[in-house]
Amino acid sequence: MHSKLRCAAAMLLCLLLIPAISAQAAKHALLIGVGDYPYLPPGKSLEGPPHDVAALSELLRTIHGFPADHIVSLVDEQATRTAVLAELERLVDRVESGDLVMIYFSGHGTSCNEYGAWTFDSRTGALLPYDFKMSEDVEKMMDHLIIGRRDIRPVLKRLDNKSPRVLAVFDACYSGYTIRSTRKSAARSRFVSIPSLKSLAGDQKPDKSGADAAKEPEYPYRHVVYMSAASSEEQAWDITRGLIWGGHKTFDGKPHGAMTDALLRGVSGDADTNGDGDVTWNELYHFTKSAVTEGFAQTPQLLCAKGSAALLDGPLFRTETNRQAKSIQRAPPSTDKGLKVRLEGMRPIIRKAVAEMAGVTVVDDGPYDLLITPRKMKKRAVARLVNFYLPNGSLLDRVPLRSVVDRIRRHTGAGRLIAHTYPESDFNVFLELIDPKGVLVEDDPVGFVVRSEARAHILLIDIDSTGGINVLYPYMPEELKPVQTGQTLRLPELGYVTPPHFGVEHLKVFAFKEKPPGLENFMGESFPPDSPLFEQLMELIDVGKGQAAQAVLPVRTAARSDVVKTEGSEDK
């Protein structure tokens, strides 16, 4: 993104009107997980879904007071199409106004983006039940899918009319499209390609970027909040035992969907990010999204009705045990401030130079902050560029071989800013893209929404893919005034996604209860992390307990030619 245009990114979270909650409100959950698909080709089974359902059921029952007889779990052979739809109908019959309802699916999905508009809404497609069968007979195969528009929407509309509070979480993938230059992984995609369904809509993929994104139909529900595992340009992933054996840690040491693993941490109490004992809908979503994007190149999406903040700002899980769960589950902040760099296929002279850098540790296995590899080239070509990857597999940037050491030095500094947190903050600040996308494509407009739970002065910074620091807000003197509690600060079209540096940028927002001395000195500034201004910035954001909050938003950018159809994730 072009810093002179003050580019950045954010999605406006839609907000719902919360119905009155009476003491008689009940809690219901329908949890569905399909990992064992006997009728799919070898290698398509998923390890996470049975563990997803078991862990979520336990948390809802033991921490959040869902009665055991109000939790229905359908796993593998229990989760046939007929059984799933029947349980949805029974759920509608049981629910009363003001009840809390959770509908959850973990398993494979397939894509409306590739085969036609079958949608639950415009960003989802069809779910694969246990008894789904591949067939050349398209109509028969359609009869074995759970299709959003045909099967789920009518049930949810009837449920919505009864005015409960509904959280629908689908940890499935609706896109076979991804971005070039994402690393191969032991994770398994939660998307299934069904070639014979292409006859329904031809081979043309609808354009979901730029101006076409504005054509999305209005969200059809008033009381249903929907969370999906990834955007339409990303695949969702299953954390396999292979990843766990390789050092990836999950909520309970068992395989899970990448989004569900983060969701479990949030439901257990970690999503109570302002420490008040309640997990709000907003907190759960933002915590889940942040945790997922740290480890995987997928961006959970939130969909809900527009026009009111009452539901998402209110408590989703209100129990005294939240405080206990939070203190048990939350790991202490890391005291390791060094940048861990893994080098693969690099020359010994470069490895030696990197190993001698202050603040950098070269690692051969285990967690890393940067992975650096030569760019794959055609035969007999000389690799003059190297790829910088983030831990989630996203391409951060492509760097000339001669500039590797200097670029690592820049990211060492920028990493300090990205990692800066306020562990004892008593309020939240939220940062989202106005256009709810996981990947911004060349020429897309870029804009943000910022909202603070307390009256605060806002500082919004773009750390670009080169490690450069760009202050986006405040940019003018009138922007130095504070935003009020709950006020939405809307910053539309700060710029456009432009070449040449596609990859990942990090947007960092700070909210200060009191105006930091010297904030005006940073208006619209751009500087490298080895500049004196950078150290002054780090001093400015170092404020006392409870006086500030922060949020970070990774933004993936790509050329239009980088959006590809793929069943894996491989540098091309």
Q: Give the per-residue pLDDT at 36.
A: 95
Contact 558, 167 (CB under 8 A): no
Strand partners, 462: 470, 507
pLDDT higher at 213 or 516: 516
308 with 356, same domain: the answer is no
542: Cβ–Cβ under 8 A, 6 or more apart, which residues? Answer: none
Which one-letter DSSP state was computed for residue 90? H
171 with 285, same domain: the answer is yes
Q: How many domains does the chain have?
A: 3
Is 11 inside any structural domain?
A: no
pLDDT at residue 177 greater than cutoff 70: no
Residue in the block written with tokens 């201004």? 533
Lowest mean pLDDT among 135-149, 372-386, 401-415, 462-476: 372-386
* CATH code of the domain containing 551: 2.60.40.2550
pLDDT higher at 165 or 556: 165
Average pLDDT on 127-139 reads 87
Q: Which two tokens stand for residue 2?
A: 């072009």
pLDDT at residue 13 greater than cutoff 70: no
- DSSP conformation letters of 42-54: TT---SHHHHHHH
* Alpha helices per DSSP H over 334-464: 348-355, 404-419
In this prediction, residue 191 has a pLDDT band, given cuts at 50, 70 and 90, of confident
Distance CA 276, CA 270 (A): 12
Residues in the chain, total: 572
For residue 165, report the phi and psi dihedrals to the nearest 5 degrees.
-110, 120
Q: Give the per-residue pLDDT at 258.
A: 96
Q: Give the per-residue pLDDT at 232.
A: 76
Average pLDDT on 319-323 reads 49
In this prediction, residue 365 has a pLDDT band, given cuts at 50, 70 and 90, of confident
In this prediction, residue 513 has a pLDDT band, given cuts at 50, 70 and 90, of very high
For residue 550, give Cα distances in angstroms to 179, 203, 281, 511.
28, 44, 18, 6
Distance CA 29, CA 101 (A): 6
Q: Which two tokens stand for residue 156?
A: 């949810």
154 with 40, same domain: the answer is yes
For residue 447, give Cα distances in angstroms to 229, 301, 383, 395, 543.
22, 17, 36, 22, 28
Q: Which two tokens stand for residue 373?
A: 């590899």
Q: Give the per-residue pLDDT at 458.
A: 98
124 with 269, same domain: the answer is yes
Average pLDDT on 132-143 reads 82
In this prediction, residue 24 has a pLDDT band, given cuts at 50, 70 and 90, of low
459 with 373, same domain: the answer is no
Is 16 inside any structural domain?
A: no
In this prediction, residue 501 has a pLDDT band, given cuts at 50, 70 and 90, of confident
Lowest mean pLDDT among 43-57, 172-186, 283-297: 172-186
Is 19 inside any structural domain?
A: no
- Element (DSSP H or E) covering residue 360: strand 360-362
In this prediction, residue 195 has a pLDDT band, given cuts at 50, 70 and 90, of low
- How do residues 419-442 score in pLDDT, each as one tens digit? 999 988 999 999 999 987 778 888
551 with 518, same domain: the answer is yes
Is 334 inside any structural domain?
A: no
Distance CA 454, CA 3 (A): 28
Is 9 inside any structural domain?
A: no
Is 2 inside any structural domain?
A: no
Q: What percent of the chain has pLDDT over 90?
A: 50
For residue 158, report the phi and psi dihedrals to the nearest 5 degrees.
-65, -40
In this prediction, residue 319 has a pLDDT band, given cuts at 50, 70 and 90, of low
437 with 405, same domain: the answer is no
Is 7 inside any structural domain?
A: no
391 with 243, same domain: the answer is no
Mean pLDDT of the residues in the chain: 83
Burial 485-524 (b: 16+ CB within 10 A, else e): eeeebebeebbbbbeebbbbbbbbbbbbbeebeebeebee
Average pLDDT on 438-449 reads 88
Q: Which two tokens stand for residue 430?
A: 């939220």
Lowest mean pLDDT among 131-140, 214-223, 433-442: 214-223
Contact 496, 446 (CB under 8 A): yes
Distance CA 533, CA 530 (A): 8
Q: Which two tokens stand for residue 434?
A: 């106005």
pLDDT at residue 376 greater than cutoff 90: no
In the listed set 268, 295, 329, which residue is the last one of a domain according to the structure?
329
Residue in the block written with tokens 């695949």? 235
Average pLDDT on 267-281 reads 93
Q: Which domain holds residue 172?
A: 26-329
Contact 445, 377 (CB under 8 A): no
460 with 397, same domain: the answer is no
* CATH code of the domain containing 239: 3.40.50.1460
147 with 190, same domain: the answer is yes
Average pLDDT on 16-24 reads 44
Lowest mean pLDDT among 7-16, 54-63, 522-531: 7-16
In the listed set 329, 360, 384, which residue is the last one of a domain according to the structure?
329
255 with 390, same domain: the answer is no
In the listed set 382, 401, 419, which residue is the last one of a domain according to the structure?
419
Is 405 inside any structural domain?
A: yes
- Element (DSSP H or E) covering residue 243: helix 241-245
Q: Give the per-residue pLDDT at 197.
A: 60
- Pairing label, strands 27-33, 109-110: unpaired
Average pLDDT on 371-389 reads 73
pTM: 0.85
Q: Give the per-residue pLDDT at 142.
A: 83
pLDDT higher at 392 or 113: 392
In this prediction, residue 496 has a pLDDT band, given cuts at 50, 70 and 90, of confident
Q: Give the per-residue pLDDT at 207.
A: 44
Strands (E), 1-50: 27-33
- How do residues 77-94 score in pLDDT, each as one tens digit? 999 999 999 999 999 999
Tell which residue, 73, 488, 85, 18, has the closest CA to residue 225.
18
Judged on CB neighbours under 10 Å (0-12, 13-18, 19+), 345 is exposed
293 with 439, same domain: the answer is no
pLDDT higher at 236 or 246: 236
Strands (E), 375-478: 385-389, 395-400, 429-433, 439-441, 445-452, 457-463, 469-473
